[in-house]
C-alpha cells in the first residue's frame, strides 16, 4: 500500500484512508443493499475517487468481503471466560445479540444479490471472515471439556453451534434483538441438557 497516497478531498492516508473507505463501503451496503453497491457509490460516499479504491480491491465483490470483515473486526471482543459453560455461552450470546445479530439480519437481506451473483452462501462468507481461527463457541466448548463440564465424545459441530443458530434464527425472524429470557431458555432448556455428560459416559 502506498502510505503517502491521498484522496482528492482530504489528506487521509494509509490506515486512516483504508478505514474511511471500508466504513463508507459498509454504510453503502447497509443503506442500499448489494444491488446499489458500486465502486462509484462507495467513492462518492467516501469523498474520494474510483482509482483510490481499485488500487486496494480489484472489484466490488472483494470490497464487500473487506467491508464486512472490517465491521465485524471493529466489534470483536475477547471470548467470555466466566468459569462455567453456562455463563460463557450466555455471555457470548448476549454480546452477539447486542452488537451483531440485528445488523447481521439486515445484511442477510441486503446481501441476497451478492450470494446469487457470486454463487456463495452466508456460511461461505463466514468461513472467509474466520479463516483458520476457531469460532468463539468452539473455544468455549474446549475450555468446558478441559474443566470436565462436558465430554467431547458425543459432541458434533451441529450440537456445538446450536445456541448460536437458534438465537440467530430468532433475530432473523424478528429483525431485532432477542430477549434475555429467550437466550437463557435456549441455553438452560435446550443446549446444556444436550451437551451435558450422559449417565452412561
Cell of 29: 451496503
Do 65 and 128 contact (CB within 8 A), yes or no? yes
Question: Where in the chain do CATH 1.10.357 domains reside?
Answer: 78-195
Sequential DSSP letters for 161-180: HHHHHHHHHHHHHHTSPPPH
Options 1.10.357, 3.40.50, 1.10.3860, 1.10.3470; which CATH number does 78-195 get? 1.10.357
Question: Where in the chain do CATH 1.10.10.60 domains reside?
Answer: 14-70
In three-state secondary structure terms, 49 is coil
Report CA 1 to chain centroid distance, whole Å: 26
Options 1.10.3210.10, 3.40.50.300, 1.10.3720.10, 1.10.10.60; which CATH number does 14-70 get? 1.10.10.60
- pLDDT tens for the 201 residues of the chain, in order: 343 344 444 566 788 899 999 999 999 988 888 888 999 999 999 999 999 999 999 999 999 999 988 887 776 678 889 999 999 999 999 988 877 665 666 667 778 888 888 888 877 777 777 666 678 899 999 999 999 999 878 899 999 999 989 998 888 787 778 899 999 999 999 999 999 866 554
Is this model's pTM higher than 0.85 or not?
no
Amino acid at each position: 500500500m502506498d502510505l503517502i497516497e491521498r484522496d482528492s478531498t482530504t489528506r487521509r492516508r494509509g490506515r486512516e484512508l483504508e478505514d474511511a473507505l471500508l466504513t463508507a463501503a459498509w454504510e453503502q451496503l447497509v443503506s442500499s443493499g448489494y444491488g446499489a453497491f458500486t465502486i462509484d457509490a462507495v467513492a462518492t460516499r467516501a469523498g474520494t475517487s474510483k482509482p483510490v479504491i481499485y488500487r486496494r480491491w480489484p472489484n466490488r465483490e472483494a470490497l464487500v468481503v473487506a467491508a464486512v470483515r472490517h465491521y465485524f473486526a471493529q466489534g470483536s471482543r475477547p471470548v467470555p471466560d466466566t468459569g462455567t459453560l453456562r455463563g460463557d455461552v450466555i455471555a457470548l450470546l448476549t454480546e452477539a445479540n447486542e452488537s451483531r445479530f440485528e445488523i447481521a439480519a439486515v445484511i442477510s437481506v441486503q446481501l441476497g444479490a451478492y450470494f446469487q451473483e457470486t454463487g456463495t452462501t452466508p456460511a461461505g462468507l463466514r468461513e472467509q471472515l474466520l479463516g483458520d481461527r476457531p469460532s468463539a463457541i468452539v473455544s468455549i466448548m474446549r475450555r468446558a471439556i478441559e474443566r470436565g463440564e462436558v465430554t467431547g465424545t458425543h459432541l458434533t459441530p451441529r450440537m456445538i453451534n446450536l445456541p448460536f443458530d437458534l438465537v440467530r434464527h430468532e433475530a432473523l425472524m424478528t429483525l431485532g434483538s432477542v430477549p434475555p429470557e429467550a437466550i437463557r431458555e435456549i441455553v438452560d432448556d435446550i443446549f446444556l441438557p444436550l451437551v451435558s455428560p450422559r449417565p452412561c459416559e
